[in-house]
Structure 1
Amino acid sequence: MATRKHNEFLDIDQSDEEGDGSQGYDSELEDLKKGGRSPKRRKVDDQTSDASDDEQEDGDEGQDTASDAESNKKAVKQSTKDASESKPERRLKTDELPGISKPLTKKNLVASTAAIKRSGVVYLSRIPPFMKPTKLRSLLEPYGEINRIFLSPEDPTFHARRVRNGGNKKRSFVDGWVEFINKKDARHACELLNAKIIGGKKGTYYHDDVWNLLYLKGFKWNNLTEQIAAENAERASRMRAEISKTTKENKTFVQNVERSKMLEGMEAKKAAKKRQENDDALGEPKEPAARTGMTGERPRHFKQTSVAPKRKPEDQPEQVKRVLSRIF
């Protein structure tokens, strides 16, 4: 029995070399098997073309390049046209109420007016205690899209009294308005929810509260803000009038003060001039500068009362003397 070599697998048979025609290990083939990418395609020019064919291609090369350029331009124009046509379709779909900032154009203005006509406003005569606008939106959004919500807060004095007496410190709201994008949704929500409990999971904070909804027919959100805008405009006009009045009074006061100073200076100059003329006429020595008011101060003269003369004892008549002598 022939013995087996330990390295028999290294010996290559002639049948293996000639029969299969394998080229050994290929790294690219192994990468493809493992899920790798195939090698890039390479553009190879045919080198077996004849010289005559090359000359004909050189003659027609100008026409081919021109036609290729024109076809490329047409393709670019078509792609840009398709892109420009696809964008306006998306813009037209975003037809929303004027709560979102958009550039003011004629198309947006027409779309906003149409959206305002489609919208509907619901009035809530009572808001459950301590319910916030976000909670209200989450409860009403299943019945239709909501754009804006306004809730009027409670009186701050009532809130301060409740907190002082140990009550809840949260802010509460009295009533509110909800704007639905579609008036049909607003009407259906009022019909379904009015005088019904809020519901939800049993044991939640607002489970047993009752909805008080009213659909305002023909009422829009602009009507709600008209009164506020009018009050703000009136307040601004009143403030402007008061500011103009105070500025005018201050201006006249400053003018009067300056005029009084000017008149006092003129009178002081006239008095000093008259005094100097009198002194020159009488030939009296001139008073020092401190007395004549050259330092800028006017001389002051005070009227003095005359001193009362002492009374001399008068001689009494004889009859009086005789009577007094008898008494004393």
Structure 2
Amino acid sequence: MATRKHNDFLDASQSDDDASQGYDSEIEDLKKGGRSSKRRKIDSDASDISDEEVEQQDEEEDDDEDEDVEAEKEKESTADSKKSKKATLQGSKSSELPGVSRPLTKKNLVASAAAIKKSGVVYLSRIPPFMKPTKLRSLLEPYGAINRIFLSPEDPASYTRRVRNGGNKKRSFIDGWAEFVYKKDAKHACELLNARTIGGKKGTYYHDDVWNLLYLKGFKWHNLTEQIAAENAERASRMRAEISKTTKENKEFVQNVERAKMLEGMEAKKAAKRRKEDEDTPRVEKPVKESKNKGERPRHFKQTQVAVKKKPEEQPEQVKRVLSKIF
């Protein structure tokens, strides 16, 4: 049996790990998440390769990596542009109907038309003094569901007159309209309340006031708004006509002022020119008569002919003889 050497593990020829390369720093960096070095390892056998060729290979690898990075950037930019286009389209759709999440469908329009057909409008010819729409709603709601209420305010001149004389400063209303959801409720309310006291607890402010209600058959709320819109349009057209008239008058006045200034300037230029000519021409003394005759235009006046009295005609001899015998 051969004796075992103490330094067998030091003998390179008999060692089993000839193929192992020992500790490699690049492999450790890759394990930790780092990048491998761009420069390739050159074996001792390939020592005949020049340094210039190695640098060219490195530059080609850098160019390939740059191209990959640019392609990734282009993909990201195209994705961002698609997202921005979608956002702009959504924004344009939402801007078409501001404040409305969904457009009105045919079903909703049919439902609203049916609700308008079922509704009924009541006219209040007199509103109790200083009654507000909220109070009127609370008094009429027990007789049926109410949709809208409109009260026409009093004249501002009467309000200022009342406040100036020390009266109540609250706002008052003249008449109004109330829209019930169902027309049958509007009819029942008019039948029950018309020409009756408001009532309620004794001592309340509106206890002794009387209702004045009238159901408007075939009248809908849009009829009231159409009338108000027509009145507003008429007022606006009247204002436009007045404004156009005043602007036209102002324009004519400005044109007349400018024309007057222009004529004054022309007259001033003519006077200055005439004055200059008089200064340049020598003065020649002329007789007064000749200057007058030369300066004045000859005038001819039509003369009326003098009326000549007609001589009395001589009477015949026979007439003279007869007259001489009579007288």
TM-score by length of 2: 0.48
Higher CA-based Rg: 2
TM-score by length of 1: 0.48
